[in-house]
Structure 1
Amino acid sequence: MDIHLGATGRQWIAMTAQDLRYAWREVRNQWGLTAAVVLTLAIGIGSPTVVFSLLSTMALRTPPSHDPNSFFRVVREPSRSSGVVTLAEYRALADENRSARRLTAWSSALLTARIGGDRGPASGLLVTCDFFSAFGVDAPVAGRLLTPEDCTSRLPVAVMSERCWRSRFGADPSVVGRSFPYGGVPVVVVGIAATPAIQVRGHFSDADSVADLCLPYTTQHALKNVESLFRGRDLLSEDSTVPWLELAGLLEPRTSRGTAANEFRVILARHARPSPWPASLVVVTDGSRWSAMPLKILRLSMIVLALPVLILITACVNVAALLIPRAAKRVPEMAVRLALGASRAALIRMLLIESTIVCGLAALLSLFLVYSLPRLLVRALNAESWVGAGSLGPDWRAFTFLAVTSVAAAILSGLAPALESLNPRLAQSLRLGRGLETPRGSRAARLFVGIQIATSTLLLVTAAAFVRTATRTAEPGFSTTDLLVAELPDDGSRRAPLGAIADGLSVSSGVEGVAYAKALPLLGESAVQVHSGTRPEWISSPAVSVSPDYFRVLGIPILMGRALNRQDAGRTGAQEPVVVSRQFARRFFGKDNVLGERIAAEDRSGPVSMTIVGVAQDRSTGQETTKAIADGSMVYEPMDPSSEFGFLLIKASDRGAATADVVRARLRDLTGSAAPVATFESRLAERYAGIRRLKSLSLASGAASMMLALIGLVAVITSEANRRRREFAIRLALGATPSAVRRRIVLSGLRLVPIGLSCGVLASWSGLRVLQSQRLLMLAPFAVDPSPYIAPVVLFLAATGVTLAAIAYRVGRRDSFAALREE
């Protein structure tokens, strides 16, 4: 088919081609300035693209499959602490559904046991025998995959992961067919396979993992005593109400995930049984984290992406500040073009094409960053299990984001200089034959530098807030050394009361003390509405129910009064005793000694009157509450020792793994099932891992933005010094000292700083207020800690002072008579 272009279309193409040739010539003629602009924009364009690529890989990547369009995963909303369905429910779905051509299942908890004698613990996953084909593994590396006969026979066989085979056994081919003791059960390895990395549970916060051994789910009875969340339970019984299986599969052609979800709900409702688990809705997703991402995490992702976007804005403003002096020099050229009949629109197009070429070169350079930086960032942030080391290359989403970012950068960085070039006084420009140093251009350059300073201050203050928050894990206000924690969740099982379990554990070898609480410190404490006689308004304060030994085990001293005792748990009404922190006393009563004072707290059943019997030392408080300010205020309520659910805090006599093993074994005897035992430091590190990663990202963003701001400041002050060189030469010739000239230059530069710093501090204060009010991040209370603001401001002022002094020193050394002769 022939395409005929009209005269207007051909003319437009010819003019665009001419503009491209002219723009390329201008770029080559000023290669020094072009190189600086390209490098600056490459950093600005590459930074958000790298972060977007990582977020896209983490959130939008689906599990491996030959047919990702038909792959699905079943989750529950709200999510459960265990699996999605029981064994009976899985079998009903497999037999009755018409939406899925393949439905596979696996256990929602990994097994953990030693394999092959002295080798370390290996993870095991109980799976249905079509597990590998659902995740795109059709052929083994050696031996064979699981078959339906393996599930029917219930024999303990396993497929070993290729990673485990190579790392533990040196890729020994004789491993296939051998029997290894696994948790005391002989397991025959029938094959080696490239086991896929998946989220064992469908929770957004779970990292990907590769099971060392995949075993038929029907071997659960033989392996029920192997260490796992479901240890000691027979889950293969048709009467079992424990949802321990996760589900995934492949849809039938032309079947949507919504259709499958509706069918699954009908089938599950048909086979519903009385269960202690709370009701939840079955949802079918594509298996990506994005599909199960909570709104809070989505907002947090936008904040993470906003940090490098601010670098892009800083880079664009920096380039605009660099190009404005050049634009002023091109005023005579623009005046001649206008005098010869060129339109302003045509000239704007020509100048924007120049900016587009420069941004295109920067985009090509940023591709290097997009391909190389993600792997370095993932290693530095220790996030391999979240992102996946084998899938870090940019996809079409990253390339689209790069293209959009490049166009935006071209417009943002090129529009202001283009408008500056097209604002000449025509007659004067033609008569003088040189660019006019217009006040408007100087004001625009100063405005851009002010924006850069504000953006850099915002990023630096944010980084300082993250640094301040991260230090809370090192100084929480209580002892974390040799502290073990065990969670006894409300999982529908019956067990001994927490008080009896704590008494039984306290006599174990290597245990110095045991306490229990409704929540771990810093990791999930709730809030209550409190008011006192001195402050009748209701105010949120962190609160937690604890046992009498809580303060002794954590090493929190009682400053006044007494700690809680066992008799306090049975006293209610106006006599209910509580212990408060010193910060709570000062915040609500304005004094330290508040013994005997009464407060009212809003409970689920209504207002509860409490009497303060003790004041404890302040400690850091978590940020999981809804409205409470994490300033150290805390209310400690007595916890009923007959409660069956909560957390145990065990003070061990040493850091050895032997004590943890003793605690696990003793808990198994006391509760009848396995309970996960970990060090408090590991739980704290896991929870604050995101804060530390954001700290690293914000520090890098702040440093890059400050560097760009200083470059822009150097460009503007140098340009202004060159514009005023005649003035400075006359002053020097008339007797002014070089120090006076330098002082003028430094003061003119410092006038740009206060407004930018003020705007940046105000913007960062507002942003941190939003983050704290929405509980998006566990940030330290900046309202009582000015250090996140003072340190960045002092750092920026010091760097600015040194930079301006260097510029002023160079200008002050100029020969005044030589400068006048040049004029």
Structure 2
Amino acid sequence: MFGRKRKPEDFSAELRAHMALEADQLRAEGASESEAVRAARRGMGNLTTSEERFYERNRWMWLDQFGQDLRFALRQWYKSKGFTAVAVLTLALGIGANTAIFTLVNAIVLRSLPVANPAQIYRLGTGDNCCIVSGYQTNFSLYSYALYRALRDGTPEFEELAALQVQMAPLSVRRDGSPAPQVFSGQFVSGNYFRMWGVNAFVGRALTASDDTRDAAPAAIMSYRAWEQAYGRDPAVVGARFAIDGQPFTIAGIAPPGFYGDTLRADPPDFWLPLAAEPLLRGRNALLERADQHWLYAVGRLKPGGQPGAVEARVNVELKQWFEQNTGENFNRQRIDTQHITVSAAGSGMNDLKTAYAEALRILLAASGLVLLIACANIANLLLARGAASRVQASIRMALGAARGRVIRQTLTESLVLSLMGGAAGLAVAWGGARLLLAIAFRGSRYVPVDASPSPAVIAFALLVSVATGVLFGVVPAWLSSRLDPASALRGAGRSTGGSSTILQRSLVVIQAALSLVLLTGAGLLASSLGNLEHQRFGFDRTDRLIVRMQAAFNGYSPERLYQLFQQLSARLAALPGVRTAAFSLNTPMAGGNWSSGIYIEGHPLSATGETRDSSSWLRVSPHYFEAIGTRLVRGRAIDDRDTPSAPMVAVVNQAFARKFFPNQDAIGQRFGMNSFAHVHDYEIVGVVEDAKYSAAREAAWPTFFLSYLQMPPGCWNNSAMARSNYPRFLELHVARQTRNLEPLIRRTLAELDPNISVVGVLTFSDQLGNTFNRDRLIARLAELFGLVALLLACVGLYGVTAYSVASRTAEIGIRTALGATRPGVIAMILRGALAQIGCGLALIGCGLALGLPVSLWAGRILQSELFGIRGGDPVILGSAGSVLIGAALLAALVPARRATAIDPIQALRTE
């Protein structure tokens, strides 16, 4: 097969040479010329059959035939440019939508971390704690530095066990010689952090264990993104001195492109700093040596052959031993046996974007799959509608001896060529679509962490979908072409075909109508849900309000210094043009997090172990805070200028707090405390405000109490976590309408007042809320787009079938017109047929819901989890979706119906 081959022409010439020699021999023996030629031909057999066998034996026939089919398909589609353009565009939308969604699924859900051998990476813990906790966690996910070291030294199964700070920390960074600092995010990590990941520096070197010691010169690693965007990839950055939160650091190296650490998130670290440098930046508020403060994740690389189960058993022994040796005020020995650690795989990263978007992407992938099914039904319908000529061609082939399988293969090849062209165009749609999706999903973010460029997995997915699509919409026309009787097909050439073809066309329209109704209903539900989310009562005012996020190094500031600073800050900001009220707080509404704590309420019983059963969110605020954000005071008074460090400590609670802890009492005048029962009398409730949502828009407001930013129980200034809660991070401004260009004035005012204060960003309350709903907006907008595309495709399909019906009934319509049928009567006849098909689609959906198909129930449960303020079976949405579908169907069928009224009876009868 792979050697030197004889050409078919040479073989034919050889056969004819043998035949000529045989004829010469017969003539020499006395036969006449004609008899000699006839006898020689009889002796040689059927030359055509021999030549065909020689041709087939010397090549891969299936490949040769495929080449023929491919060339024929390309010629066919080139001749029908209009049809080809419509079909390719339809397929590009369907395949492109699926590929765009899969691009995000692959990047967010399926892809592993960009590190060496991610399958060896395991995490100690499973939870997603966001903050700093004390005491017990039951299922441990956070660790103090002391506990991390004990686990690291006691688990030889790990090649490396690294520690990393849970929360990103905003850093004020200034390069030597630069006039002003910039705000970046940073993360404290252990010295073996980069070695554990198996990641080397792109430029310079990574952190090492020698950097993570108290005596080491402060060093930091900069992310590639920060190096590129902020410093233009200046090679002199490596080795340069930077002031980070006022302390000198040397940039040891640049992390490689694409490395973002342990978690795919919208705010990855810009700098990685050694854990040993944490006390340098935080001063007396440092957590490094606090054994009771759990603020680190622990992630490690198992040695080859290491078993997670064996590691889990060992670390749990180490955990209990550590607790036995380190019990203190906040530890209860009776609970030591309930503490445990779960070892979990971490090669794909810790949950963040994956948790937030996995379910949404699954829903969108299912919706885009429905769009593709509608597109397939549409293309199949168009192929059936134009199939009369192709069926005649197939009949001629079969009459000439072509096998049924050969005809099916030829027709499927045409479909595959069409789908592959659509897939190629779909890749371009997916490339642009994925970027549009990312723009919606990360609106307001300073960084988009997902790369939407087509990867090999994405291209393979697009190819697989294209092939499957070609088979799906091509199998019905191929089957119809192969089952025709050649004689009857040739006798009916040029006439329209009915029967199976017509039934299938109408069935496909029914399927398109049913799937379109599903998508339109889903789009309506999700759009209504988004509207309910965005326009609910949040408990604060969104109009004419600004949020300023600050980063400040307040380490070492006394309560008196802070009081003076923020008094001046409030006065200076309130004096700016257009500012009505200025306040500040630890957190701000819907900023993505809040502090919570166990509380001890005067008169409430304790548990058998002496611990509190109560907990609440809490927030430190300045005077005028509720006025600045527009939260209504219900009873009593708010935090005001009377609440100084030397005044009695007070609290304001929200209505949820009052309902939960004082259901049959007046909350004002009640007392409570935090941290231990000894503080139960610390705070007196002096006011009640309306409920406001601070973290979860889909949930009721959490019980929350508000404290003055300066009032703390004695001794708490020496507690790092409590002291840090005194450092406000947000300014809230109520401004006059039409106020513009405040941001430069705010920045200049803060810099003049205290150089330690940097502005991270300024945005409106409306933008803050808008960013909160990026995920919901992405689902709703795409559902609306898919519903619109599905409706358009269904209408195109209905138009095609109706136009085909008009063409096939030309004679009938002509006769009816000749016998006196009126123009409105003809239109009504055509529209009745079209609406009957749409009605079948609506009935199909209704029957599916009534019978409770498992797929419908499963889809309904998934969608219900995404809805807010509306049920999945809302009759208004369902009725509206059906009405839209019927209205669009009428418009699609009206054009060919009007055309039918213009048929000339005499001309119609002549064509028949």
Q: 1:639 and 1:385, CA in 2 relative to 1: closer, same or farther beyond 3 A?
A: closer
Structure 1 gaps, min length 5: 226-231, 487-495, 526-543, 579-613, 626-633, 664-675
Deviation at 1:685, TM superposition (A): 3.5
- Kept in 2, the 8 Å contact 1:156–1:186? The answer is yes
Give the corresponding residue for 1:741: 826
Deviation at 1:615, TM superposition (A): 15
- Kept in 1, the 8 Å contact 2:241–2:250? The answer is yes
The Cα offsets for residues 7-29 of structure 1, whole Å up to 9 and x where unpaired, read as 9x989964675366246425523
The Cα offsets for residues 293-334 of structure 1, whole Å up to 9 and x where unpaired, read as 988965443212101111110111111111223445555555
Q: Which moved more, 1:120-129 or 1:177-186?
A: 177-186
Give the corresponding residue for 1:58: 108
Within the candidate set 444, 454, 459, 2:504 is matched to 444
Q: Which amino acid aligns with 2:792?
A: M
Q: 1:269 and 1:764, CA in 2 relative to 1: closer, same or farther beyond 3 A?
A: farther
The Cα offsets for residues 559-611 of structure 1, whole Å up to 9 and x where unpaired, read as xxx86998997898984589xxxxxxxxxxxxxxxxxxxxxxxxxxxxxxxxx
Q: Is 1:408 matched with 2:468? A: yes
Structure 2 gaps, min length 5: 4-52, 133-141, 332-337, 550-558, 575-580, 595-615, 638-651, 668-687, 713-721, 736-741, 751-760
- Kept in 1, the 8 Å contact 2:151–2:318? The answer is yes
Q: Which amino acid aligns with 2:108?
A: M
The Cα offsets for residues 744-778 of structure 1, whole Å up to 9 and x where unpaired, read as 33343233333435656887999699656886324
Relative to the length of structure 1, the TM-score reads 0.71
Describe how 1:125-136 pairs up with structure 2 within 5 A. 125-135=187-197
Q: Which amino acid aligns with 1:471?
A: G
Distance 2:507 2:455 in 1: 36
Give the corresponding residue for 1:216: 274
- Kept in 2, the 8 Å contact 1:453–1:709? The answer is yes
Distance 2:269 2:701 in 1: 43
Q: Which moved more, 1:409-418 or 1:113-122?
A: 113-122
Q: Is 1:281 matched with 2:303? A: no
Deviation at 1:55, TM superposition (A): 0.6
Count how many residue pairs are aligned between Structure 1 and Structure 2: 719
Give the corresponding residue for 1:475: 535
Give the corresponding residue for 1:36: 86
The Cα offsets for residues 685-728 of structure 1, whole Å up to 9 and x where unpaired, read as 44321101112322332232222222212211111111011122
Q: 1:324 and 1:262, CA in 2 relative to 1: closer, same or farther beyond 3 A?
A: farther
Q: 1:751 and 1:121, CA in 2 relative to 1: closer, same or farther beyond 3 A?
A: same
- Kept in 2, the 8 Å contact 1:453–1:760? The answer is no
Deviation at 1:57, TM superposition (A): 1.0
Distance 1:425 1:118 in 2: 85
Give the corresponding residue for 2:522: 462
Q: Which moved more, 1:785-794 or 1:355-364?
A: 785-794
Distance 2:826 2:279 in 1: 87
Describe how 1:359-758 pairs up with structure 2 within 5 A. 359-371=419-431, 373-382=433-442, 388-390=449-451, 392-396=453-457, 398-424=458-484, 428-434=488-494, 437-472=497-532, 474-477=534-537, 479-480=541-542, 482=545, 575=664, 624=698, 652-654=733-735, 681=766, 684-757=769-842
Give the corresponding residue for 1:81: 130
Q: Which moved more, 1:90-99 or 1:264-273?
A: 264-273
Give the corresponding residue for 2:285: 233
Deviation at 1:235, TM superposition (A): 1.9
Distance 1:414 1:381 in 2: 36
Distance 2:894 2:582 in 1: 61
Q: Is 1:182 matched with 2:244? A: yes
Distance 2:771 2:846 in 1: 31
Deviation at 1:649, TM superposition (A): 12
SS across alignment from 2:159? strand
Describe how 1:112-127 pairs up with structure 2 within 5 A. 112-115=171-174, 116-127=178-189
Describe how 1:787-798 pairs up with structure 2 within 5 A. 788-789=877-878, 792-798=881-887
Describe how 1:15-414 pairs up with structure 2 within 5 A. 17-18=64-65, 21-22=68-69, 24-26=71-73, 28-31=75-78, 32=80, 33-65=83-115, 67-69=116-118, 71-74=120-123, 76-82=125-131, 84-108=142-166, 109-115=168-174, 116-135=178-197, 137-139=199-201, 141=203, 144-152=205-213, 153-171=215-233, 175-189=237-251, 191-194=252-255, 206-207=265-266, 209-211=268-270, 213-224=271-282, 233-237=285-289, 239-255=290-306, 260-272=311-323, 273-274=326-327, 279=339, 281-289=341-349, 298-331=358-391, 347-371=407-431, 373-382=433-442, 388-390=449-451, 392-396=453-457, 398-414=458-474
Deviation at 1:59, TM superposition (A): 1.5
Distance 2:410 2:886 in 1: 39
SS across alignment from 2:508? helix
- Kept in 2, the 8 Å contact 1:329–1:435? The answer is no
Distance 1:761 1:683 in 2: 41
The Cα offsets for residues 377-430 of structure 1, whole Å up to 9 and x where unpaired, read as 32354378897355633233x344334423432332122223333454676445
What is the identity percentage for the equivalent residue pairs of Structure 1 and Structure 2?
25
Q: Which amino acid aligns with 1:454?
A: A
Q: Which amino acid aligns with 2:297?
A: E
Give the corresponding residue for 1:597: none
Q: Which amino acid aligns with 2:191?
A: C
Q: Which moved more, 1:687-696 or 1:193-202?
A: 193-202
Q: Is 1:777 matched with 2:866? A: yes
Deviation at 1:357, TM superposition (A): 3.6
Deviation at 1:130, TM superposition (A): 3.6
The Cα offsets for residues 77-124 of structure 1, whole Å up to 9 and x where unpaired, read as 233223732212332343333333333333223243243542431222
Distance 2:297 2:701 in 1: 39
Distance 1:36 1:641 in 2: 65
Q: 1:725 and 1:53, CA in 2 relative to 1: closer, same or farther beyond 3 A?
A: same
SS across alignment from 1:221? helix
Deviation at 1:156, TM superposition (A): 3.1
Distance 1:624 1:423 in 2: 57
Distance 1:546 1:106 in 2: 26
Q: Which amino acid aligns with 2:866?
A: L
SS across alignment from 1:113? strand
Q: 1:244 and 1:522, CA in 2 relative to 1: closer, same or farther beyond 3 A?
A: closer
Distance 1:199 1:140 in 2: 13
Q: 1:508 and 1:281, CA in 2 relative to 1: closer, same or farther beyond 3 A?
A: farther
- Kept in 1, the 8 Å contact 2:388–2:496? The answer is yes
Q: Which moved more, 1:368-377 or 1:653-662?
A: 653-662
- Kept in 1, the 8 Å contact 2:120–2:347? The answer is yes
SS across alignment from 2:304? coil
What's the C-alpha RMSD, in Å, of the aligned pairs?
5.5
- Kept in 2, the 8 Å contact 1:78–1:281? The answer is no
SS across alignment from 1:437? coil
Q: Which amino acid aligns with 1:802?
A: L
Q: 1:774 and 1:649, CA in 2 relative to 1: closer, same or farther beyond 3 A?
A: farther
Distance 1:467 1:732 in 2: 47
Distance 1:69 1:521 in 2: 35
Relative to the length of structure 2, the TM-score reads 0.65
Distance 1:705 1:154 in 2: 63
SS across alignment from 2:293? coil
SS across alignment from 1:223? helix
Deviation at 1:74, TM superposition (A): 1.5
Q: 1:375 and 1:744, CA in 2 relative to 1: closer, same or farther beyond 3 A?
A: same
The Cα offsets for residues 223-273 of structure 1, whole Å up to 9 and x where unpaired, read as 015xxxxxx632221x52222223445443344556555554444444345
Deviation at 1:43, TM superposition (A): 2.7
SS across alignment from 1:777? coil
- Which of structures 1 and 2 has the bigger CA Rg? 2
Q: Which amino acid aligns with 1:187?
A: F
Q: 1:376 and 1:234, CA in 2 relative to 1: closer, same or farther beyond 3 A?
A: same
SS across alignment from 2:294? coil
